Each structure stands twice: as C-alpha cells, then as structure tokens.
C-alpha cells in the first residue's frame, strides 16, 4: 500500500521525512525505479509517466502535486480512477500573495516607474484610492477565495465571475456567459484564476479586452493557454489595456525573441505565483489517503465532466 512520489527527487526527500514523521503507517517512496510497481496504490505526480495504468496495475488514486490537472490527459485514464488535485494552504497563500503583488503593482503604476527608472525619468504619476478601483476575479474556487480575503483589507471593490453561480460576502458575483459583460464592464484590474478547459482556452482575447473600461489591466495566474498573445499586444498598443502581469505563458518559457520579454507594459514571471509547500501538502495528501481508506470523500476530487 505504497504512496509513490513520482517527481523531483530533492523535494521527494523532504516528503519522505515528513511522511515518516507524520504517517509512519503509510509506506512512502520517491524512487520509482526502486519501488515494486504492484505495491503502488497512491501516486503523486506533476506529469504522469507513460502507460500509467499498465505500469501501476493496482493504482487506486492519482494525486496531482499542483493545483491544476490540465497537464494530465484525463481521457487516457480509467474512468473509475480517482484523480485528486492539490488543495493545501501553501498554494493558496502563495497565490494570494502574488495576486496582491500584481494588483498593487498595477494600481501604483510600478511598471511605468520601472520604465522611467531605465530612462532616468523622475516623474510622479497620479493614482486614486483603492476604494475607487474594482478588481475582478475570473474563477471563484479555493485559490480565488484566498485572493479575495487577502485583497479585502486594502479596500478595493471586488467582483467575481465563474461558470456557475456563487455567493461571497462583499463580492459582486456574476456567472455564465450572459453574466460576463456586466462583470467586465466596470473592472479596472482583472485577475484570471480559471481552470484550463476547452471552454476557457483563449478566453483572454480581444473580445474580452474590449468589454473592459479603457485603460484596465490584466493579471493572468491561470494558464498560458487562456491568453491570446497577439490580442494582448494589440490591446496594450492601443491603450485598451494599460498593463499586464503574466505568471504563465504558452509555451513556457517563451522564445528568446518573443516581444513579451522586453515589453515595458508587461511584468513577466516564470510560473512562480504559487508553489506546493511540502510541509502543508504532505498533510493534505495524508488526510486524503486516510479518507480514501475509510470510504469518505476526498478533498480536491476532480470532476471529469468539468476537467477540474
């Protein structure tokens, strides 16, 4: 009944020590080549190995070591194999910090000041109070709620949009395709935290940008495939958007000559908005293994019909 951590060996050593301390009753391995495949009941991966079903014939649960599962070809897995995405405080805290960083950077014109510094331009830019800016969040799952809670104390007006209806205290919530225009119409900063699905790929495009007030800004912490890159460049050139903070791209990394690298209105980071933290992630996985063994529902179980 082994849990196999099939990812970075250095982090695997951290996980091994934590498992030994907190769940000595659960066999743990981070060395796939030293683990008998038939013993593996639980598998933790970033990117699943090929022929996962054949390789691990007794696999009972597949754990994604990240918050998303778009890197996993769900169609290639048995329909009765549970897939669980990572929901743990470290990921939520990291995303909340990054989103707050992005909002404050855009609100206080940090991209402009970085550009001015390069050109020796000492000039202040007027900014308004947080209470006059509306921050809109696309996707209202666990990560989005962490972001909302972190932004609240700054006094921003908060809105949210998702495919299904939600009610969140202090947040103007919209849902469905019909609710998207009303959501976008008053957003000064939009944060994308959507899961990547067939419906959300390419959603950050010229149609969406043109629904925003002129001069709005974008933060994409979802996936690179959410963004139509050419449309963003046009929106920045015309002033429809004033800036963008991008933690994800397609592909990753971008080609060396890609215009995003040197664009003065884009802050680009290498997919580091949040990271799975072993100290808290181990507890989340152990708890789910115990839930599975007791026949209770696991936290983060993926709905195959929605792909998240």
Active site residues: 223, 271
Cα 26 from Cα 28, distance rounded (Å) = 6
CA distance to 28, 82, 303, per residue, from 308 (Å): 26, 12, 6
Are the C-beta atoms of residues 153 and 176 closer than 8 Å to each other? no
CA distance to 91, 107, 126, 127, 252, per residue, from 130 (Å): 26, 8, 13, 9, 33
Cα 202 from Cα 223, distance rounded (Å) = 10
Q: How far apart are the first and last CA of the chain?
A: 26
Are the C-beta atoms of residues 148 and 304 closer than 8 Å to each other? no
**Helix (H/G/I), strand (E/B), else coil: 227:** strand
* Three-point CA angle 171, 172, 178, nearest 5°: 140
């Amino acid at each position: 009944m082994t849990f196999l951590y099939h990812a970075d060996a250095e982090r695997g050593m951290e996980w091994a020590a934590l498992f030994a301390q907190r769940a000595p009753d659960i066999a743990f391995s981070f060395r796939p080549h030293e683990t008998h495949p038939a013993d593996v009941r639980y598998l933790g991966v970033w990117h699943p190995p090929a022929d996962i079903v054949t390789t691990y014939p007794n696999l009972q649960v597949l754990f994604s070591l990240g918050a998303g599962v778009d890197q996993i070809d769900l169609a290639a897995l048995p329909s009765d194999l549970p897939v669980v995405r990572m929901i743990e405080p470290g990921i939520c805290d990291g995303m909340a910090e990054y989103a707050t960083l992005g909002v404050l950077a855009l609100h206080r014109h940090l991209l402009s000041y970085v550009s001015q510094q390069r050109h020796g331009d000492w000039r202040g830019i007027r900014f308004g109070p947080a209470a006059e800016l509306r921050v809109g969040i696309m996707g209202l799952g666990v990560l989005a709620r962490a972001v909302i809670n972190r932004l609240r104390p700054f006094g921003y007006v908060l809105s949210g949009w998702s495919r299904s209806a939600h009610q969140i205290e202090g947040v103007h919530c919209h849902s469905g395709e019909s609710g998207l225009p009303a959501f976008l119409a008053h957003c000064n900063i939009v944060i994308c935290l959507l899961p990547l699905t067939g419906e959300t790929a390419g959603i950050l495009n010229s149609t969406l940008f043109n629904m925003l007030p002129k001069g709005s800004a974008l933060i994409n912490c979802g996936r690179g495939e959410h963004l139509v890159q050419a449309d963003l460049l046009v929106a920045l050139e015309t002033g429809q958007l004033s800036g963008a903070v991008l933690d994800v791209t397609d592909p990753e990394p971008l080609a060396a000559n890609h215009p995003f690298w040197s664009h003065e209105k884009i802050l680009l980071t290498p997919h580091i908005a949040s990271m799975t933290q072993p100290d808290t992630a181990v507890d989340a996985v152990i708890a789910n293994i115990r839930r599975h063994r007791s026949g209770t529902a696991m936290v983060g179980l993926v709905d195959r019909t929605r792909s998240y």
